[in-house]
Amino acid sequence: MQQFAGKRVAITGGTAGLGLALVHELSARGADVAFVARRPDGVTRVAQEYGSRVHGIVGDVAVEADIHRIALQVLGALGGLDVLINNASDLGPVPLQLLADTECEDLERALATNVVGPFRLTKALLGSLAASAREHRRPLVLNISSDAAVTPYPGWGAYGASKAALRHMTSIWEQELADTGVRFISFDPGDMDTALHAAAMPDADVATLKRPEVVARELAEVLAS
């Protein structure tokens, strides 16, 4: 199944959970994939497992100084870009806290990871995405959202505020760049059996949660549409 042969995809947060499932699903469908994560051991492990069409990049999307290096490494590895998936995320305080008990630094980290990082990385890669549009490759920026972006769940203030901002920013990117041919979508994957979910809700019944592999297949269909 080489449905995505020649498609160049960058994924932030590619060593666990949904990001790892996307690395697996999209590379299996023939895409060339560059993924980002902070911990070098995880990046090396995944890159070695998937071979020459999957490129690992060590970096932190919350750190301003990392963004241009990540963008350069993405473009160096892939030779251009058709799909950017802003997937890496920060929960805010763990265990979850009411807003009144949330440290300012925890809110800042959630915003840096979930909003400012995707903004910086999108800006850094916009020229390449526009070039992809000029070549009629239908480029897409896919920002991973959450139901917490629309529903004000108590205890999820830092995360929910950051995801709401990301979702709204996605809609504005979509409006402002409609003429360029670069598409923007935010996607709520639903509750998944991942480390992030376990950190937020350690008592959840994992049998009720979606497998990230199932969500990755849903997202592959979004990319194909």
Ligand X SMILES: NC(=O)c1ccc[n+]([C@@H]2O[C@H](COP(=O)([O-])OP(=O)(O)OC[C@H]3O[C@@H](n4cnc5c(N)ncnc54)[C@H](OP(=O)(O)O)[C@@H]3O)[C@@H](O)[C@H]2O)c1
Q: Please give the residue ranges that form the binding site for ligand X (CB under 6 A).
A: 12-19, 36-39, 42, 60-62, 87-90, 113, 144, 146, 189, 191-192, 194-197, 212
Dihedral class, residue 154 (left if φ above 0, else alpha if ψ from -120 to 50, else beta)? beta
Looking at beta carbons only, is 53 or 210 nearer to ligand X?
210
Q: How many CB atoms lie within 10 A of CB 214?
A: 15
CB of 190 to ligand X, least distance (A): 6
Looking at beta carbons only, is 89 or 137 nearer to ligand X?
89
Looking at beta carbons only, is 92 or 133 nearer to ligand X?
92
Query: What Cα–Cα distance (Å) separates residue 53 from each residue in 6, 77, 124, 126, 176?
Result: 10, 9, 22, 22, 33
Name the one residue in this structure whose structure tokens are 């990392």: 66
Looking at beta carbons only, is 68 or 134 nearer to ligand X?
68
Looking at beta carbons only, is 38 or 131 nearer to ligand X?
38
Q: How many CB atoms lie within 10 A of CB 172?
A: 10
CB of 193 to ligand X, least distance (A): 8
The values of phi and psi at residue 17, to 5°, are 55, -140
Q: Report the run of H or E that residue 67 belongs to, with start and end.
A: helix 64-78
The values of phi and psi at residue 207, to 5°, are -65, -20
Residue nearest to ligand X (CB): 17
CB of 30 to ligand X, least distance (A): 22
CB of 135 to ligand X, least distance (A): 28
- Residue 47 makes CB contacts below 8 A (sequence gap 6+) with 54, 55, 56
Looking at beta carbons only, is 17 or 139 nearer to ligand X?
17
CA dist 44 and 57 (Å) reads 9
CB of 159 to ligand X, least distance (A): 7
CB of 10 to ligand X, least distance (A): 12
CB 118 within 8 A of CB 166: yes
